[in-house]
Amino acid sequence: MSGTKPHILIAGGGIGGMCAAAALLQRGFEVDIFEQADELREIGAGIQISPNGNRALDSVGAYETLRQLSCKAERKEVRLWNSGKTWKLFDLGPVAIERYGYPYLTVYRPDLLKSVTDAVMRLDPKALHLNSKCASFVEKDGKVHLTLENGKTVTGDALIGCDGVNSMVRRCTANDSPPQFPGMMIWRGVIPLKALPERMQISMAVNYIGPNGHVVHYPLRDGEIMNLAATREKPEWDAPGGWMAEGAKKQCHEDYEGWHEDVHILIDAAPKLIKWAYLVRKPLQRYAYGRAALLGDSCHPTLPFLAQGAVIALEDGVVLARCFEKYSDVEEALTAYERARLERGNRMVAGSNDMVPRFHNPAYRDPVKADEYIDREWSGEAIAARYEWLFTYNCDTAPI
Ligand SMILES: Cc1cc2nc3c(=O)[nH]c(=O)nc-3n(C[C@H](O)[C@H](O)[C@H](O)COP(=O)(O)OP(=O)(O)OC[C@H]3O[C@@H](n4cnc5c(N)ncnc54)[C@H](O)[C@@H]3O)c2cc1C
């Protein structure tokens, strides 16, 4: 422990762990991050960062560089799976900046992880420990003792579990049921923009919605690449041996039989497709357990249908650091963090679940019923009710 400030251990160097570390280091805390991988890696795919997430990135000094590498999509729209009939979802770019103070960005995941990692490295180049899988921890004599898989034990004043959906820290604290496959999977690919016909080289996020799945595409990396993310309902996961695998284009085409030709153009243009199982867990009623707490996917893993999992993890990190700054007692700080974040995390997960029928409704088989359903469920007011409470949150000033 340095001076009187707690020494904080972080399990997991993903987006959430790195943002939390940067926010804590900024406030003068001693931080050590233990990441199982031998190098920091993110899947080469896209991610949407809404204004509330960009605010959190700005708070830790990671926004500017990321913004320059991202795309500011002009708007989001929904299209019917077979006809391609289009409805505006919401405006992005200048409208978002005017309304929320930050844009809605579409980002290449490795760029996002690098931006938060660089923020950590600028503050303390020794904070990150790679090749350091966390195996277990105990709380004893007012300290946390974290054991790594290599047998080493590290002692600190608090442990933050940022170790994702299969969290070890969650197992050692909440000890609830393991993640489940929810009967849905996703095909993911990144496509060089130039491989697409000119009419598809557009700066907007498109959501094809259909009876058993939905297909999202949006540009990344200043418009060099198009992200493809195609969700499909599947009763069983069909790639035993792991939750992700390289997939065959033929199978992907079959999954979207009868869908708009642009969907098949995207599938054909992808150099490779990865299939990926979604995983979900029951909502928690606690994020804080004595001197340990959970953050990001370890406490609120979500279907990504509001595009908020990482964004909320970024917010968690900033709010956590503010709580440590405000409350000198570790347990009090973690309880304040839980109080500030629990309802928001669980509401976001529930809101994402509620999107399933909106994205995959049987009504979409019939054009007349589809029109009625979309006019109701995707009206301006309905969309505002779903997103406004998310986008307007300010992690720098929210009550703690
Ligand atoms: C298809 C898809 C699309 C998505 N789209 C969006 C989107 O548009 N916008 C959005 O905001 N969110 C989106 N999400 C959600 C987002 O990806 C996650 O919410 C986010 O990655 C969570 O970050 P995290 O740091 O909590 O966990 P992770 O990203 O899972 O990071 C956990 C880290 O912990 C490490 N780790 C795990 N166990 C251990 C251990 N025992 N010891 C040490 N290290 C360990 C891992 O190696 C990893 O580095 C999407 C998710 C999916 C699946």
202 in a structural domain: no
- In the reported structure, the alpha carbon of residue 165 is separated from the centroid of ligand 1 by a whole-number distance in angstroms of 7
> If you compute the radius of gyration of the chain from its CA atoms, what whole number of angstroms results?
21
CA of 310 to the centre of ligand 1 (A): 7
Query: How many DSSP H helices and E strands does the chain contain?
Result: 12, 20
Task: Give Cβ neighbours of residue 383 (< 8 Å, ≥ 6 apart).
Answer: 89, 90
Q: What distance in Å separates the CA atoms of residue 190 and residue 71, rounded to the nearest whole number?
A: 14
Place of tokens 């409208």: 95
Name the residue with the closest Cα to ligand 1, atom 51: 304
Please state, in angstroms and rounded to a whole number, the distance separating the CA atoms of residues 363 and 51. 32
SS3 206: strand
Q: Please report, as a single letter, which amino acid is at residue 207.
A: N
Separation of CA 117 and ligand 1 centre (Å) = 14
For the stretch 319-370, pLDDT in tens is 999 999 999 999 999 999 999 999 999 999 999 999 999 999 999 999 999 9
Does residue 194 lie within any of the structural domains?
no
The DSSP string of 57-88 is HHHTT-HHHHHHHSEE-SEEEEEETTT--EEE
Protein residue whose Cα sits closest to atom 21 of ligand 1 = 310
Residue appearing with tokens 């963090």: 337
What are the tens digits of pLDDT across the range 1-45?
445 899 999 999 999 999 999 999 999 999 999 999 999 888 889
First to last CA, the chain: 24
* Residue reference for tokens 């301006």: 380
200 lies in some domain: no
Structure tokens at 106: 């579409």
pLDDT tens-digit map of 194-246: 999 999 998 889 999 999 999 999 999 988 999 999 999 999 998 888 999 99
- The enclosing domain of 330 has a CATH number of 3.50.50.60
Say whether 279 sits in a helix, a strand or coil: coil
Among protein residues, the one with the nearest Cα to ligand 1's atom 3 is 304
**Tens digit of pLDDT for each residue in 274-291?**
999 999 999 999 999 999
Q: Residue 168 domain-assigned?
A: yes
Helices 380-391 and 330-359: crossing angle, nearest 10°?
160
Residue with CA closest to ligand 1 atom 45 = 12
307 lines ligand 1 (CB under 6 A): yes
**At residue 260, does pLDDT exceed 90?**
yes
The answer to whether the CB of 387 falls within 8 A of the CB of 310 is no
Q: Exposure pattern of 311-326 as b/e (b: 16+ CB <10 Å)?
A: bbbbbbbbbbbbbbbe
- Confirm or reject: Cβ of 148 under 6 Å from ligand 1: no
Q: What integer best gives the mean pLDDT of the chain?
A: 95
For residue 64, is it within any domain? yes
How far is the centre of ligand 1, averaged over its atoms, from the C-alpha of 35 (Å)? Answer: 13
Looking only at the bridges linking them, the beta strands covering 153-156 and 143-148 are antiparallel
Residue 3 confidence (pLDDT)? 54
Compute the C-alpha angle 84/103/262, nearest 5°: 20
Q: What angle do CA 328, 393, 48 make, to 5 degrees?
A: 115
Q: How many domains does the chain have?
A: 1
Specify if 15 maps to a domain.
yes
Residue 195 counted as domain residue: no
How many percent of the chain have pLDDT more than 90? 88
- Give a yes or no: residue 294 inside a domain: yes
User: Measured from the CB, is residue 156 less than 6 Å from ligand 1?
Assistant: no
**Which amino acid type is present at position 351?**
G
Residues of the domain holding 293: 7-72+104-178+281-356
Q: How confident is the model at residue 93 (pLDDT cuts 50, 70, 90)?
A: confident
